[in-house]
Amino acid sequence: MKDYSKKRKTPKNPLMDFDLWLSKAVKPTTKTEQPQNFRAIVYVRVSSERQAKEWHWLEGQAESGKTWCRLNGDMPVDKTFKDEGISWKIMDRKGLIDAIEYLEKQNKKYTKITHFVCTEICRIARPEDREEGTALIARIEATGAKIVTTLEHRDTSTDEGKLMDEIKLSIGTYERKKIMKRARNWRISRALQGFRPFPTLPVGYKKEGQGQTAIVIKDDFKAGIIKEGLELFACNVLITRADLLEFFRDKWLTTNEKNYKGKLWSSFIEKTFLLHRLFFYAGYIFYPDWDINEPIEWRQPAITSLDVIYKIIEKLQKGSLLKRNPRRVEMSAEFPLRGVIYCPACHRKLTSWYSKSWTGNKFAYYGCSYKDCTARENIPKEMLENDFKDLLNKYKLPDDFLPAFKIILKEEREASKQNEHSLRDKKMGMKVNTENKMKDIWDAMMKTKNVDLYANLEKERAELNSEKLVLEDDLSNDAYTEQEYMELYEKTLWIITNPLAFWTLGNAEIKQLLLAVRFGWKLYYNKKSGYRTNDTWLLNYLLGILGTNKTHLLGWLGIEPRTTGLKGHCSTDWATTPKQKSQNDKMNCPSRRSRMFPRWIL
């Protein structure tokens, strides 16, 4: 051991503590000891933007910290770190993390920053777990800086001071839980009164006015896109969540959140499919986490109907649509007929691909990808799409057919009007019956003391309430007006009269609509023979269902009278074996024949 007494002299004052002198003489220092002045940084935080902008609490906290530094030895302040509008329950705050990293960088070799100044200890942390706040404070003190609070005395050099510090952290945790409970009760009371208890509005709504006089109204542009997207998703035109997100992006829909700067991400769809958000779009407030288990009517106008919301919920509860994509979105701009045309041999959808030659050129093809198909062939993209355009030209209806089509739809419209009144009375009776059942169940719930029976009655009452809401929604939705009906008729007429222009100018959704209207069943294509359509197209089938008094469908057209031969078979029979005979009997049924040979007489 080295003799340090030769290097350092003994203290002149014999009364000095010898152990203290020895520790300074023997113990080597880990950091370079240099003469230093006191320096500080100030940290300020408020929980909301209103506290920062309207009440100016950030400036008040910063001025309080600088005043303390000026009164305690005129201590210079290096920096002021701010967290504006960030709640105390969030531990990873940018301003606080920057302050700690600044301390660690400045005090790496020796202590430059000696004080960390804030107004209260709760400005640093008020966590739900007290140990998390203790660890955060210990990280600040590990840099060598002392935490100073301007509004309260803090001294951790004694056991009593450490105890008071622990008590303050515990009080902060208690206050946080009380504030959360108080805010939750306030939101529940607002929801029960029919108001939306959340600060932000979902996409499709906006605030008109400022302050307490602001009212919530629908954003016509965004609300129309949201309504169309939810309805298409409910009726399986848009199959997956990715399809719905792509639909919203194509419509240039933007969010109300400033963090995303209006851009749509997958998290937007996740928020849209939350139960309380879906019911909110239907004009109801439903939040089971707050014990609001029955939808309460909202005071603002709805974007979509409750029936659409229930269809979406039923679709989401199936599970397969949540875990995986049931089918790829077939239609694309490069291959518009992919997934629409079928192979005549294996009855599977044709797919598409690009083939690259040895020269580097790419060629587009359609074809069947099933390995066991007997008619696998590569069909050039131009051949298949040009033949499809020729097919659309052949399907152009003559002008003489249009007046008849209009008369048929008009008669059907008049017949549906007569049934609307009786159907409305029937729904009103069902609603009254449902309300009486709910009242009886409520009386039984008040009388019973059996917990299991009470739970079953409550579940049954909730189901009846859902049926009641659907009936009320149906009764509130008015039918098409005459003007709206004629506008819809004109759009349908354009599909029928000019399908090629409709296909050329339309987007993916419009092309799907055209294929559904013009080709209701499968459409086959062979490289040699071309397209093979169905026996009838969808419009004829729908007209056959309408069945007006001025039209009727002719029966089977035979070649000759039916005569039985020596073997007991008719010469016009299609087959002689019993198996094929049974198939022919199925083909001879009226519904099958009407789809094969429609003949209309006006």
Strand partners, 351: 367
Q: Is 47 a catalytic residue?
A: yes
- Give Cα 122 distance to the centre of its chain: 36
Burial class (CB in 10 A: 0-12, 13-18, 19+), 311: middle
Distance CA 293, CA 445 (A): 16
Pairing of strands 523-526, 530-532: antiparallel
Specify whether the CB–CB gap between 295 and 285 falls below 8 A. Answer: yes
Burial track 520-540 (b if 16+ CB lie within 10 A, e otherwise): beebbbeeeeebeebebbebb
Strand partners, 40: 77, 115
Distance CA 253, CA 265 (A): 11
> Looking at residue 28, what DSSP letter applies?
P
> Looking at residue 303, what DSSP letter applies?
S
* Sequence-distant (≥ 6) Cβ neighbours of residue 451 within 8 angstroms: none
Distance CA 330, CA 326 (A): 12
Q: For the packed helices 94-106 and 130-141, what is the interaxial angle rounded to 10 degrees?
A: 30
Amino acid identity of residue 588, one-letter, is N
**DSSP 3-state of 492:** helix
Pairing of strands 341-342, 115-118: unpaired
Specify whether the CB–CB gap between 204 and 272 falls below 8 A. Answer: no
Burial track 246-265 (b if 16+ CB lie within 10 A, e otherwise): ebbeeeebbbbeeeeeeebe
Distance CA 66, CA 76 (A): 8
Among residues 47, 305, 352, 594, which one is catalytic?
Answer: 47
Rg of the chain taking only CA atoms, in angstroms: 39
Distance CA 272, CA 440 (A): 36
Specify whether the CB–CB gap between 110 and 32 falls below 8 A. Answer: yes
Q: What angle do CA 269, 272, 273 make, to 5 degrees?
A: 90
Q: What angle do CA 445, 450, 452 make, to 5 degrees?
A: 90
Name the residues annotated as catalytic.
47
